[in-house]
Amino acid sequence: MRAASRSEPACCTCRHAHGLKRPWLAPRRGSADRSPAAPPAIRLGHLQQRTCSRHDRCFPGSPLKMIRRGFLLVLLLLALWACLLRPVSPRVGPDPVDIGDGWKRSTPAAQGIDGLALDRALNSLLDAPLNVHGVLVERHGALVAEYYQGGTDRSVYALVSTRRSFGPTTRQDVRSVGKSITGLLYGIALQEGKVPAPSTPVLGAYPALADLATPARQRIRIEDLLNMASGLRWQEGGTGVNDELRLFWKRDLARYVLGHEMAVAPDTRFNYNGGGTALLADLITRGSGQSLDAYARSRLFQPLGIDDWEWVADLHAARWHSMACACVRATC
């Protein structure tokens, strides 16, 4: 290969053409080298990086590129470890665990249950590809069986599932249990006079949505949201993106939910709908003047002695609007 002349700029990548000791770094040259024919340069402190246009065998990249690639490789390896390789706890059970929470412990036989049949049934459930992390069985006010096992876990806003160990003090994603809790909270708020009566038309609570007030939508009552019989066209569950997943990213929840087309008349067909639960939670927070998790803590969980839980907030409203339909995490 032809040796580089003194008038040629130093190449930052070509190891052979210019005989550089450090092929990716070259000292800055004087102004005489800055001719129109010289290739572009990137200045790094007191060094100048140049690229040769006539080399075939090049060093694969600058130190900055190498650092970025190494950083990405480390992130990839950590993700693979967390998602596929992290050791998790084995299955434990069936004896109930004493964690000092006040629960009485007993045996299946003492409570009139066939212990062997119960053990077979629960192990069959835990063996199934359902990603069940824990099972508790209560009979006559006492725990008679308790199982835990490691598995994958993913909160609502996580992009991938990770492997985790689970036990009696591990918070687990209980997802749509939040819908039932929201219904309970609406009943409490109704008793306190902080929310509209169940017979109230939903759009009556949202005067800013008058443009959505078709005759069919005006017949949707709050009790239809509680019964999941609003008649709105709503698809939830299954694989892929659905209406509930889109709900997690919306800022104006009421407009998004009530903006759906009507599929049937209200109060005529059950259709699983987390959007209706989001509206109930919105009415609770507006009527109580508290965030949903704060209201749940003071009115429901603290009186029941439940203190190890969290309600994940949506992305737009910080702690004011917890995602009512699917974001409760709690211990068993």
CATH number of the domain where residue 194 is located: 3.40.710.10
Q: What are the structure tokens assigned to 166, written together?
A: 């689970």
91: in domain = no
94: in domain = no
pLDDT of residue 329: 65
185: in domain = yes
Pair 215, 250 in one domain = yes
297: in domain = yes
Pair 294, 184 in one domain = yes
Tally of structural domains, the chain = 3
pTM for the complete prediction? 0.69
Contact 311, 296 (CB under 8 A): yes
Pair 191, 221 in one domain = yes
pLDDT of residue 186: 97
Domain boundary residue, one of 129, 151, 170: 170
pLDDT of residue 24: 45
SS3 155: coil
Contact 143, 96 (CB under 8 A): yes
Range(s) of the domain holding residue 11: 1-85
pLDDT in tens, 158-189: 777 888 898 998 888 777 888 999 999 999 99
Domain boundary residue, one of 170, 196, 215: 170
pLDDT of residue 325: 56
Distance CA 87, CA 164 (A): 8
Contact 313, 323 (CB under 8 A): yes
Answer positive or negative: Cα dihedral of 16, 20, 22, 24. Answer: negative
pLDDT of residue 7: 47
pLDDT of residue 237: 81
134: in domain = yes
Pair 195, 325 in one domain = yes
H-run or E-run covering 69: helix 63-80
Pair 32, 118 in one domain = no
pLDDT of residue 332: 57
Pair 70, 48 in one domain = yes
pLDDT of residue 330: 64
Pair 111, 136 in one domain = yes
Answer positive or negative: Cα dihedral of 298, 304, 307, 312. Answer: negative
Pair 303, 225 in one domain = yes
93: in domain = no
SS3 265: coil
pLDDT of residue 47: 41
Distance CA 122, CA 5 (A): 80
pLDDT of residue 56: 42
Contact 147, 91 (CB under 8 A): yes
**Three-point CA angle 103, 328, 232, nearest 5°:** 130
Domain boundary residue, one of 55, 85, 115: 85
pLDDT in tens, 268-279: 999 999 999 999
pLDDT of residue 50: 46
Measured between alpha carbons, how far is residue 232 from residues 100, 199, 207, 267, 324 in Å?
Answer: 46, 17, 19, 11, 19
295: in domain = yes
Pair 189, 326 in one domain = yes
Pair 140, 187 in one domain = no
pLDDT of residue 1: 47
92: in domain = no
pLDDT of residue 321: 55
In the chain, which residues have pLDDT < 70? 1-62, 156-157, 314-332
Q: Tell the burial category of 213 from Cβ atoms under 10 Å away from its Cβ (0-12, 13-18, 19+).
A: middle
Contact 265, 316 (CB under 8 A): no
142-148 and 104-105: which strand pairing? parallel
Pair 73, 212 in one domain = no
Pair 197, 320 in one domain = yes
